Amino acid sequence: MNGPLLKVQNLTKHYPLGSGLFKKTIPVIRAVEDVSFTVETGETFCIVGESGCGKSTIARLLMRLVEPTGGRVLIDGTDIAGLKKDALRAWRRRMQMVFQDPYSSLNPRLTAGQIITEPVENFECLGRRRHQALAADLLRKVGMSPEMMHRLPSELSGGQRQRLGIARALSLNPSLIIADEAVSALDVSVQAQILNLLLDLQQQMGIAFVFISHDLGVVEHIGHRVAVMYLGRIVELAPCEALFAKPIHPYTEALIAAAPVPDPTRLRLEAPVEGEVPSPVYPPSGCAFHPRCPLAVERCRIEVPPLVPMADGRVVACHVRAPATEISGNPALAGDRSILLAQ
């Protein structure tokens, strides 16, 4: 297969606040601003950030559960925005979603078997026997006993419910699964079981994941590449190992420093980043992080920093740490840049 499995170009989503029938300008929530990235076959692409950074909106845009204000989502080169009813249904087979809350995302009146075979029933009529065989097969894939197919969600534990959510997503053999905070509501011991399951499934079936999370430890563990978002924009996108070894954007740095580490002998030197995330309705001018940034200079207040490619294959949006002019002035790196942008 040529080209990336998923390609997101300049994706933007604004939510209007109120109807504004008699107002000239309606304030909008700038949930996602000009976001671009690609996901390769079999890759785990992570999106991290704090509440309100736009990561869940991206999940909804990728599934076309909401329509974008601007930009494109291409899967295998096909723009999903142009798809009409039947084509959209067919394409949805390739992309499935796993949700955060295993309690509210399962129909409480269906049995486990009915829940996980329902996506397939949408496309073809399964006989009783095939239905049972499929349910048993899917349950085994997510490490549950086939006898569980007659249980109701209320008779299952939180971890088992999340396994059902994953089995349901697997039922159509998708190439891409979007997992929005899929392990966040789980206890750590259960979280470990589910993360292992995701790693196993990726190895066996070559599924790509868009893994959305606020938990840096989890992202570092399972991600191949990671995008850090702040107030609707990607501020740094890098291979996972490089990002955690040496964060470049001051926000990435603050985020990593803020995560508690289970090691009581570690001395915490740096003071936590001050202030809170500003409103996405009236984001700060220039770089949205500048009011909290210890490195901010005059330029950060005025100009939105572009994503600038660095030598190690990452892109960073920061006037101070990744100044655009210097890189483009350097012929070696400028060459690099054109390669990355062409991707």
Compare residues 214 and 299 and give the one whose CB is closer to other proteins: 214
Phi, psi (deg, nearest 5) at residue 141: -60, -35
Q: Is 31 left (phi over 0), alpha (psi -120 to 50) or beta?
A: alpha
Residue 204 binds to other proteins (criterion: CB under 8 A): no
- Residue 249's nearest CA partner among 187, 185, 310 is 310
Residue 196 binds to other proteins (criterion: CB under 8 A): yes
- Indicate which single residue of 46, 222, 248, 287 sits in contact with other proteins (rule: CB under 8 A): 222
* Spatial contact of 227 and 236, defined as CB atoms under 8 Å apart: yes
- Indicate which single residue of 66, 126, 257, 324 sits in contact with other proteins (rule: CB under 8 A): 257
Contact set for other proteins, span 135-164 (CB under 8 A): 157-160
Compare residues 52 and 71 and give the one whose CB is closer to other proteins: 52
Query: How many CA atoms does the CB half-sphere of 207 hold within 13 Å?
Result: 26
- Residue 186's nearest CA partner among 116, 103, 96, 262 is 103
How many whole angstroms separate alpha carbon 282 and alpha carbon 1?
Answer: 43
Minimum CB separation of residue 222 from other proteins in Å reads 7
Minimum CB separation of residue 314 from other proteins in Å reads 17
- Indicate which single residue of 87, 259, 281, 302 sits in contact with other proteins (rule: CB under 8 A): 259
Compare residues 169 and 240 and give the one whose CB is closer to other proteins: 240
Residue 277 binds to other proteins (criterion: CB under 8 A): yes
DSSP calls for 97-147: EE-S-TTTSS-TTS-HHHHHHHHHHTTSPPPHHHHHHHHHHHHHHTT--GG
Residues 6+ apart with CB under 8 A from 237: 37, 225, 226, 227, 228, 307, 314, 315
Minimum CB separation of residue 219 from other proteins in Å reads 9
Which of these ranges, 2-10, 99-107, 123-131, 218-226, lies near other proteins under the rule CB under 8 A? 218-226
Which of these ranges, 29-37, 91-99, 100-108, 240-248, lies near other proteins under the rule CB under 8 A? 240-248
Phi, psi (deg, nearest 5) at residue 273: -60, 140
Which of these ranges, 61-69, 70-78, 252-260, 297-305, lies near other proteins under the rule CB under 8 A? 252-260
User: Site map for other proteins, 45-84, x if CB under 8 A?
Assistant: -----xx---------------------------------
Which of these ranges, 54-62, 113-121, 185-193, 297-305, lies near other proteins under the rule CB under 8 A? 185-193
Number of residues that bind other proteins (CB under 8 A): 46
Phi, psi (deg, nearest 5) at residue 58: -60, -45
Residue 262 binds to other proteins (criterion: CB under 8 A): yes
Residue 207 binds to other proteins (criterion: CB under 8 A): no
Compare residues 2 and 189 and give the one whose CB is closer to other proteins: 189
Q: What is the DSSP letter of 277?
A: P
Angle between helices 128-141 and 158-170 (to 10 degrees): 120
Q: How far is CA 280 from CA 15, 37, 213, 300, 329, in A?
A: 10, 21, 19, 17, 34
Binding site for other proteins (CB under 8 A): 50-51, 157-160, 187-193, 195-196, 199-200, 214, 216-218, 220-222, 240-241, 244, 254-255, 257-266, 268, 271-274, 276-277
